Amino acid sequence: MLHVGLAQGWWATKGNDLPALLQQPLESAVAYYGYAGATILDAKGNVRFSTGQSMKLSERGELLARQVLQTAPPPFSELYAADPAAPEQPMLDTFAPINGADKTTTVGLLVLRGTWEDLFTMIQSWPGKSRTAEIELIKYDGNQVIVLNELRHRTQTALARTAPTTLDTLPIIKAAQGHYGPLESSSDYRGHAVLAHIVPVQGTTWTMVVKVDTEEVLEHLQGLQQIAATGTLIVAAGLGLWTHRWQRKREQARVRHEVQQVELRLAAVIDSAMDAIISVNEDRHIVLFNPTAERLFGCSAQEALGQPLNRFIPHHFQRPLYEHSPAFSLSDRSAQKTGLLETASGLRTDGQEFPIEAYLSQTETDGHTLYTVILRDITERNRAKEKLIQNEARLKEAQRMAQIGNWELNLTTSTLSWSDEIFRIFEIDPAQFGASYQAFLDAVHPEDRDLVDEAYLTSIETREPYNIIHRVRMADGRIKFIQEHGETHYDEATGRPLRSTGTAQDITALKQAELRVESSLREKETLLREVHHRVKNNLQIISSLLHFQAKKTRQGQDQSIFSEGQDRLRAMILVHELLYRSTDLHRIPLGAYLTALTDQLRRSFREAAGRIHLRVEAEELSVPATIALPCGMIVTELVTNAFKYAYPAGKSGSVVVRIASRECSFLLSVSDEGAGLPMEFDLQQAGSFGLQLVASLADQLGAKLTRPPGTGFEIVLEVPLPSEATAPERPSQLRSPIARI
């Protein structure tokens, strides 16, 4: 018996330190009976003593404490899940009033804290002796809940269907909604308040609900109401939910339940396993044949049970199987070897053999030996493996032919891996390679290392792929050109770079060819410029000869013929001059060419140039020389005619040369404001050599030649452009446009 006077003295004082003679038994009781902690409150709700886990009460707990302290007669305790200090771990608080010496006055409150797990363990051990506890095995099917077992309090309930209702406090409805763990419900299907625990049945679609009436749980706590005075405070701590004897029974029940659960889970695993599981006894006769084995061998379990294992093993493989594993050796039943037999074959009931992977094991149970074989059909794996080998061989061959290899840099371990082709390209022995990013940089040409390093680091920073060409120097001094392409992969959560992958291709031959081509192109351009220069010089000589010949002729028609010939030659000379000086040896800016040409013509007609205004209105357009030269000859002839005949007797006016671009052609026109020619005048039938030349050149260009109505004289040509406007022209195409006249 504890010292009553000591307890009353402590209660009368205002201190919080419980005397050791009272504290030690209370703490021992808390530890022995498995409580998480205990708290003593006085009549005003002040905490006087607390031991064990945090005992801070929630708002509901404080409300219940006040009800217990203030209600007369005081109500018995209420169970609820609450622990503000650790909300992730639900707790179970039990409240019991502490009566004074008169047994009617409430002078304090004892709060004992347990866990839901402890309650669940207790519930599991009750169905044998409890009058209210039961287990409901349910399955959710569409919009209905199916109870798989017979209920304790109702008959003919197996496989009964219950449609979910608004009564979502029912434990089975909570289970159907996916709620697991502890549950305090205001009612079950009988309308009784219950404490329940919901757990999934591993490997199945079932859910198990274990529950007991709250009233029965509270009956185990009735002993707490027998506290008659403060002196019995410590005795109350020993009147908890579990006595020592009941604790042992609970533990035994828990062990039995765990064994049952393990057996259920094992059965579920065996039935749902993706591998075939076959067990045989000491005589090698089958005692277990799971559903996967049925599908694999084409034989039902009913047919297989009791049959010898040899029925499913090809004859030629039986001896190697038993020699490989002592687990099947009847001469040594003490062997416990477990292992993997990689090369094996199975035999289906239709006689078809197929490759398998077999795991062999031996166990001893109740003095008997059980042999278990776990089989996996590896037909598809072997096919995939063979295909992978073939693909790898094709990849290596493709890399060898294309001289391209792949690499991967692990940024976590800083290791670099190369394919065989990269080692061949860099001419490095894999055994001598440092397998690091720095080792790669060391293999790069010294003048290109900074460029390569900067490209890679920039790629990591910007998260953009990079493509770069660099050189490597071989041991014998040879230089190779390598094209590197790479990109980096990142951790989606943190953004940290994980690895970089890419390719390296030997483009030495391509680069050298590109240089055999650039050099040849420069040589040809130089030669072509020289050709244009010499053609221009030769034409200039002819023009000079015509000039000196004109001086020896008399004034009149003879001298005019030489002058017109010089003008035509200048049109050709100017084309070659522009080609010689241009960066583009194939195309001529038409507006600039015609502007320079008309300036030369103006100087040829000094007397008329003062009264005739000549201008060029041209859009930007570059054309091949084969188009520019005929256009220049046409403009020369038409402008010459305008200077000679458009404004006679000292009249003045203008001559306009226009160029206007269209989608696939351009318009070239020469017009004046003079007297003009009759509309019925035919250029093809004209007696003038110049006008005949215009018609012939227009035909050579494939141009449409028209004379718009109106005053003065105007010739308009619509000149088609070649379909490939950028196609280069050969020198042979610069033939003389006069040759056809």
Residue 590's pLDDT is 87
Dump the DSSP string for 408-432. EEETTTTEEEE-HHHHHHHT--GGG
107-145 in b/e form (b: 16+ CB < 10 A) is: bbbbbbbbbbebbbbbbbbbbeebebbbebbbbbeeeeb
Query: In 427-556, which residue ranges form alpha helices assigned H by DSSP?
Result: 437-443, 449-462, 508-552
For the chain, domain boundaries: 273-377, 388-506, 516-733
Residues 6+ apart with CB under 8 A from 6: 19, 21, 22
271-295 per-position pLDDT tens digit? 777 788 888 888 889 888 888 889 8
Mean pLDDT by 10 residues, the chain (741 residues): 55 70 74 76 84 76 80 54 62 74 74 66 54 80 76 73 63 82 77 82 74 75 42 38 50 73 69 81 86 90 88 78 55 46 78 84 74 84 82 73 84 89 88 86 92 93 92 90 93 92 88 71 60 57 56 58 65 66 74 85 80 91 86 87 84 92 93 78 68 86 87 90 54 40 36
Rounded CA separation 408/395 (Å): 16
**Cβ atoms of 45 and 62 closer than 8 Å:** yes
Report DSSP state, residue 728: P
User: Longest C-alpha distance within the chain, in Å?
Assistant: 161
320 to 134, 315, 474, 660: CA distances (angstroms): 54, 10, 54, 93
- In a 13 Å sphere around the CA of 583, the CA atoms on its Cβ side amount to 0
Residues 6+ apart with CB under 8 A from 699: none
Which structure tokens are listed for 183?
């549950």
Query: Terminal CA-to-CA distance of the chain, rounded, Å?
Result: 144
Residues 6+ apart with CB under 8 A from 384: none
**319: helix, coil or strand?**
helix
Same fold, 388-506 and 516-733: no
Residue 737's pLDDT is 41
For domain 273-377, say whether CATH 3.40.190.10 is its number. Answer: no
Which structure tokens are listed for 698?
């227009």
Residue 333's pLDDT is 43
The CATH architecture assigned to 388-506 reads 2-Layer Sandwich (3.30)
Rounded CA separation 412/218 (Å): 59
Rounded CA separation 251/121 (Å): 8
90-130 per-position pLDDT tens digit? 666 777 777 776 667 777 888 887 765 655 555 555 445 67
Domain 516-733: CATH class, spelled out: alpha beta
Dump the DSSP string for 107-162. EEEEEEEEEHHHHHHHHHT-TTT-SS-EEEEEEEETTEEEE-S--SSSSS-TTEEE
Rounded CA separation 346/357 (Å): 9
Closest CA to 5 of 25, 21, 29: 21
Residue type, 612: I
